[in-house]
Amino acid sequence: MIDRLEKEVDMLERHLQVLKMVIENEPIGIVKMSNETGYPHHKVRYSLRVLEEENLIEPSSQGAIKTERTAEFVDELDDKLDDIIDKLDGMKIEDVAEVEG
C-alpha cells in the first residue's frame, strides 16, 4: 500500500522536474531533458505527455513550451503540496501502544 504511494510521489517528482526544465529552458526537447536529468527518454516522454494532457505544456517544432495555464498551476502548487503534507501527517499512527493494546 505504501509502496504504491511512494511510486506515485516519485513519478510526480519527475513530472514536476520536467515541468521546471520546460519553464526554465523552453523550448526544450526530450534528449536534452533526458541528458540533464538522467531519466531515460521514455520516462521523459511519458512525463511530457502527462503535462500536455494537463495543459501545462505544449509541443512546438523546437521542443516543449509552457502554456497560459502553467503560471497559475505553479502559483497554486505549494499550497496544494502543503495540504497533502498535512493530510499525510494526520495519517501517522503516533502512539504504537494504542495499536498494540
Range of the domain at 80: 2-100
Q: Please tell me the total count of domains within the chain.
A: 1
What CATH code is carried by the domain that includes residue 51? 1.10.10.10
pTM: 0.86
Q: What is the mean pLDDT of residues 41-60?
A: 97
Residue 69 · residue 51 · CB < 8 Å: no
Q: Is the pLDDT of residue 94 over 80?
A: no
Among 70, 68, 91, 61, smallest CA distance to 21 is for 70
pLDDT of amino acid 1: 85
Mean pLDDT, to the nearest integer, of 7-11? 96
Q: What is the mean pLDDT of residues 5-11?
A: 95
